[in-house]
Structure 1
């Protein structure tokens, strides 16, 4: 205890120990005749007054230290330096298909989901940098933004050439990790590659409600147990959102049954604006993720054929390029998507009969099940993005039950006198011989107990 007190007294603040401070307090209290401490608050005021008006001597720096001082860099100077470095980036020959986010951001701004023009330009430059990292990249697009507690995650989605296949986890479907994602918390910093996820991680992510902290290496302490860190859960949620909300106009892609792949339709024309505002004009581009955490059904050899058939019936594989009209309706809505039209709905015809009518309206498709997943399009182009916490909308609407009907008052009961007579009868009924005998025996027993 004495050693700890000695350490406290010897602790320094601007070359003054606590012991010196107490000495100054005692001196001021003794010499200042006008000071009269009545309570602890007055003592604290004097202590603060001494601290604020004390002279702290700081030794002067030498000539070498003064001449070699570095210029102080303000935060805005560092930001401008990083921004200039990104603007001066010149991409080499890139074979990948890079999304023109700078142009598509105008569609997002019309419906209220866009970003600032400066951030859009920075994102466009980041897409070029990501596309130049690997020659096997076939396409790059801005996926969206995952909101977190500390810092949000910006996400970029990349698809690789089909000839190049990365090693997959042993219990995972190779088609599940078809999309590669890069994340960052600052657009001017480096991008981190998210790891691949396993089947067990995808299966466990369905039962976890977790708000991301902003630390990729944080352990997940949730129930059920999640085998991995926050970066694995982030990748799992991004894949779930992508496979459920990435849309494409009907007819843009075609599915080949022989190779079981999807390719572009050469003779495709973008539908008219009136057709884009219907659910029949949109299909799901990625495959459906089963409850197993895979794209294709895994037949466990340890299970019997009857059990496998029951599992297939409860979790069937969905057809590719399925229309969003066939999605399960969300609560009392007609479907799982909300369609809204922005801008002018008037159509203008061209000079020739073959020319498609010109329209300036913008169509918004917003998902009910995944709040923040939207698809915006016009007659020339479309974009799918996500801005949210990465959580599924599992909250059902609150419909309280109506109170029961007020019942009528019951009929009054007729009042009758009590069964006991209000007046004592004049003559009492005499006791019987048996009652007198039992009373006599009781009294004799009580008298005998008292004598004993």
Structure 2
């Protein structure tokens, strides 16, 4: 056997390594370390060389199935960074990067990258809106079983066409705002439909986690009149009505006392409150109308042809600018306030953070002339006990004797008797002439 043949045998691979390379490593170790008992410790030197060797896993093969979604995400995300040649006419976009600093004091953060992407997405979306909306604001995030809904909103420009005022409120009530949702900053924003009274009332009686599909059915009892996008809109209406709060004095009622407008003093800005003042619930107030038991913010319109009209129980407009410290009928304080930062780190510029006890995930942060509201949760209200579906309505009564017959005098000893079932053929017998034919 020649030297080359012997070398080829030693260079045969076994699990990515060869005996030739291993012997070379052992001999190099003997030469460099110069052990006194190289013959007796040869096996130990061989084991040490095997342990020191690092075997890298094979490189993964290129897969178009894995790179396809990444390329789609990159192409859709790149559109957010494209600067238009001309300034668009859209509506003012919210400064989410500024509000995010206050969100962090509330313990809410989407991460710097996600927040910046949302800021670009909102800006791009506002550029595409028409002039009917005054401004757009970020509302928060609804957590679902498959992806999450980012929510923003703007004031509804006009009432919907062919609106039934007895079943749905317009822009002066629960549909004051139009809400838009998206599941990703790179995805388009979708407008949610207007909410009806029945949807708000039914949403308050059920507890259901959202699926992440706006067109998904909502199996529940009592039956919900709509699909998931209607349930999402009803959830948002309830949360907004209960958790939209601002420092007292930020808003005031207009001359008619029907709407809320920003308050201003001689300098054009409301008087700011200190952090110590904002730690009291009485120094915060609701700046959105509350929803009554009928699913409305305003009273039902009176019928034109009804002279002696009596409004149903629970109807009536909610009070404007209710204080968070007032425990009115049907409402409780439901807020806990603390300074941020607190303790030894509290300064004159500290913020006050409000945490909703009724709606976990709803926060309000105020400091100086700035305040923000945000909600991050699953859309469910706090429940002290395990949820139990409501019982079905009472069974409808069966047929009974009419009142006229029941009040009639009945002869003594006579009782109504049920007629016997017919057991014979009631068809009359055929005549003789018909049989002959």
- Structure 2 residue aligned with 1:373: 362
Question: Number of aligned pairs?
Answer: 313
Alignment of 1:109 onto 2:104: yes
Q: Which has the higher contact order (CA 8 A, sep 6+)?
A: 2
Residue aligned with 1:141, SS: strand
- Structure 2 residue aligned with 1:281: 283
Residue aligned with 2:134, SS: strand
Match of 1:141 among 114, 137, 151: 137
- Structure 2 residue aligned with 1:167: 161
- Structure 1 residue aligned with 2:80: 86
Distance 1:71 1:234 in 2: 34
Higher mean displacement: 295-304 or 232-241: 295-304
- Structure 1 residue aligned with 2:323: 323
Deviation of the 1:136 alpha carbon: 1.1
Distance 2:66 2:380 in 1: 43
Residue aligned with 1:203, SS: helix
Distance 2:343 2:330 in 1: 28
Distance 2:315 2:159 in 1: 27
Deviation of the 1:367 alpha carbon: 0.8
- Structure 1 residue aligned with 2:217: 219
Distance 1:148 1:328, change over 3 A: farther
Alignment of 1:269 onto 2:252: no
Residue aligned with 2:87, SS: coil
TM-score, normalising length: structure 2: 0.65
Distance 1:344 1:393, change over 3 A: closer
Larger Rg: 1
Residue aligned with 1:112, SS: coil
Structure 2's unaligned 5+ residue stretches are 1-63, 387-437
- Structure 2 residue aligned with 1:155: 151
Distance 1:316 1:154, change over 3 A: same
- Structure 1 residue aligned with 2:375: 386
Residue aligned with 1:156, SS: strand
Distance 1:81 1:188 in 2: 9
Deviation of the 1:108 alpha carbon: 1.6
Deviation of the 1:167 alpha carbon: 2.6
Distance 2:220 2:273 in 1: 46
Contact 1:205 1:233 in 2 (8 A): yes
Measured against aligned partners, the alpha-carbon deviations of 1:219-241 in whole angstroms (never above 9, x if no partner) come to: 11111111111101110111110
Structure 1's unaligned 5+ residue stretches are 1-69, 349-357, 398-452
Matches within 5 A, 1:410-425: none
Residue aligned with 1:138, SS: coil
- Aligned-residue Cα RMSD (Å) equals 3.0
Distance 1:258 1:282, change over 3 A: same
Contact 1:290 1:297 in 2 (8 A): no
Distance 2:325 2:162 in 1: 33
- Structure 1 residue aligned with 2:11: none
Distance 1:258 1:330 in 2: 26
Distance 1:248 1:168, change over 3 A: farther
Measured against aligned partners, the alpha-carbon deviations of 1:3-57 in whole angstroms (never above 9, x if no partner) come to: xxxxxxxxxxxxxxxxxxxxxxxxxxxxxxxxxxxxxxxxxxxxxxxxxxxxxxx
Contact 2:92 2:134 in 1 (8 A): yes
Distance 1:71 1:221 in 2: 36
TM-score, normalising length: structure 1: 0.63
